[in-house]
Structure 1
Amino acid sequence: MMHFPDEILALAQTIVTDFTAKGLMVSTAESCTGGLIAGALTEIPGSSAVVDRGFVTYTNSAKMEMLGVQERTLAQFGAVSKETALQMVHGALFRSHADLSVAVTGVAGPGGGSVEKPVGLVHLAAKTRNGGLIHHEMRYSDIGRDKVRLATVKTALEMLIALAK
């Protein structure tokens, strides 16, 4: 069993319980978290009623091929941007059978940051088929790779809960 913090497991349990009751399915599109959001959800027994699929799109080519992110978006705004996160979440939603999707792209560190896009910057987007959309730009700061990734998982799960209300 993967060791997720209790707080993340509690959020995942809430999603599995509530979404099962509502008949809702989820898909994920993950870059900096590398599948941890889907991993947290699938730690919960019964998650197969809720988790449709997850896309781990670490490279730009994966974002384009698997999610339909536009090459011009990546060239103009970069992989770590609101625009890319929005295209990722759209692709994850409409290339799945999910009712809601969440997407994350960021700089987990320890390297790879810049003045414009420092370590700890993560763009998250969540979207529903009925038009609901949330975007968060999080600046977790350079708190360490594991902490940035787990903080991103927590925020993503919270966004799914908020969007399903």
Structure 2
Amino acid sequence: MATDTVVHQLAIKVGNKLHADRLMLATAESCTGGMVAGTITDISGSSAWFERGFVTYSNLAKTEMIGVPASMIEQHGAVSEPVAKAMAEGALRNSRAQVSVSITGVAGPAGGSEAKPVGTVYFAWSNRLSTAVETTHFKGDREQVRTQAATHALRVLLEFLEQR
């Protein structure tokens, strides 16, 4: 439960920063299945800074909901930096938010490969002017990978916001 507390505290800090800067956030989540959005909406008053969340678990959802080109998914795979970037940018295009975060990865226990083992997660953070992308590898079971991914997404989002 300590990690859940960390995620919650990070979400509060992100919310305070977004609210102070009068910005709205959109999320595009795949392997975390809405964990970031869920953590955010656990916070009373988050509607002042959280605009919407997309859970785009399937490839079709990524294409239909946030405009990730199917050809990009075919070429790079749904779990890739180009797709994470397209997810973050698509979340902004399909919302009224000014900032977004996206997460796509292999939470396990199945689905990994030699090139993308279980625990491989791609992130992107966008503010309509620039998009930062990162690849991280987490250890643990499915729940641990997903929780670590949500925590990392919020931690780096806070840094991204502070650099604006």
Alpha-carbon distance, 1:132 to partner: 2.9
Equivalent residue for 2:26? 27
2:157 to 155, 160, 165: 160
Q: Secondary structure at the match of 1:164?
A: helix
* Alignment deviations for residues 26-72 of structure 1 (CA, whole Å, 9 cap, x no partner): 00000000000001111111101011000000110000000111111
Equivalent residue for 1:66? 65
Contact 1:4 1:40 (8 Å CA) reproduced: no
Q: Residues of 2 paired with 1:120 and 1:13: CA distance? A: 26
Contact 1:69 1:84 (8 Å CA) reproduced: yes
Alpha-carbon distance, 1:21 to partner: 1.5
Amino acid across the alignment from 1:89: A
Equivalent residue for 2:131? 133
Equivalent residue for 1:18? 17
User: Percent identity between the aligned chains?
Assistant: 43
Q: Secondary structure at the match of 1:38?
A: helix
Structure 1 length normalisation: TM-score? 0.94
Equivalent residue for 2:53? 54
Q: Residues of 1 paired with 2:131 and 2:81: CA distance? A: 12
Q: Secondary structure at the match of 1:115?
A: coil
Equivalent residue for 2:4? 5
Amino acid across the alignment from 1:147: Q
Q: Residues of 2 paired with 1:118 and 1:97: CA distance? A: 35
Q: Residues of 1 paired with 2:31 and 2:111: CA distance? A: 12
Gaps of 5+ in 2: none
Alpha-carbon distance, 1:94 to partner: 1.2
Alpha-carbon distance, 1:4 to partner: 6.4
Q: Residues of 2 paired with 1:100 and 1:160: CA distance? A: 9
Equivalent residue for 1:100? 99
Equivalent residue for 1:146? 143
Q: Secondary structure at the match of 1:154?
A: helix
State the 4+ residue runs in structure 1 displaced beyond 2 angstroms. Answer: none
Gaps of 5+ in 1: none
Q: Residues of 2 paired with 1:54 and 1:36: CA distance? A: 10
Equivalent residue for 2:35? 36
* Alignment deviations for residues 93-114 of structure 1 (CA, whole Å, 9 cap, x no partner): 1110111000010000011111
